[in-house]
Amino acid sequence: MGFTEIRFPAIISSLWLLLSGRNRALKSFIEQVREFPVQISFHHCSSSPRVLSSRVSRIPLLFPDDRCHGAIVGLIGRLNFVLFSVISAGAERGSPEHVGAHLQLQARLQPPPAAGRDVQPGPGGVPRPEGAGQRHPVDGVISFDVIIDRSTNLLSRVYRPAPAGPDASLAAPAAFLAEIDRPLSAAPVSVIVFFHGGSFAHSSSNSAIYDSLCRRFVSMCGAVVVSVSYRRSPEFRFPCAYDDGWAALKWASTRPWLRSGRDSKVRIFLAGDSSGGNIAHNVALRAVESGIEISGNILLNPMFGGEGRKESELMLDGKYFVTLQDRDWYWRAFLPRALTATTLPATPSVPTALVVVAGFDLIRDWQLAYADGLKKAGQSVKLLHLMQATIGFYLLPNNNHFFEVMEEIRTFLSSDC
Report the amino acid identity of residue 66: D
Sheet of 141-149: strand order equals 141-149, 154-161, 224-229, 190-195, 267-273, 296-300, 352-358, 380-386
Burial of 216 (0-12, 13-18, 19+ CB in 10 A): buried
185 forms beta bridges with 260
What is the chain's Cα-based Rg? Answer: 22
- CA–CA dist 323, 362 (Å, integer): 8
- Alpha carbon 406 to chain centroid, angstroms: 13
Q: Is the dihedral of CA 114, 115, 118, 121 positive or negative?
A: positive
**Euclidean distance between CA atoms 80 and 57, whole angstroms:** 16
Distance CA(324)–CA(338), nearest Å, equals: 21
Backbone φ and ψ of 149, nearest 5°: -140, 110
**How many angstroms from the chain centroid is the CA of residue 287?**
21
Peptide bond into 188 cis (omega under 30): no
141 vs 93: CA distance, rounded Å: 14
DSSP string, 264-288: TB-EEEEEEETHHHHHHHHHHHHHH
Name the catalytic one among 274, 275, 295, 312: 274
| 274 is known as an active-site residue | yes
DSSP tag of 141: E
d(CA 6, CA 3): 10
Angle (CA) 21-53-92 rounded to 5° is: 50
Q: What does the DSSP 8-state code read for residue 399?
A: S
Please tell me the distance from the alpha carbon of residue 190 to that of residue 223, in angstroms, as a whole number: 5
Residue 138: closest CA among 176, 180, 93, 100: 93
- For residue 288, give the amino acid letter: V
What one-letter code names the amino acid at 169? S
As annotated, the active-site residues are 274
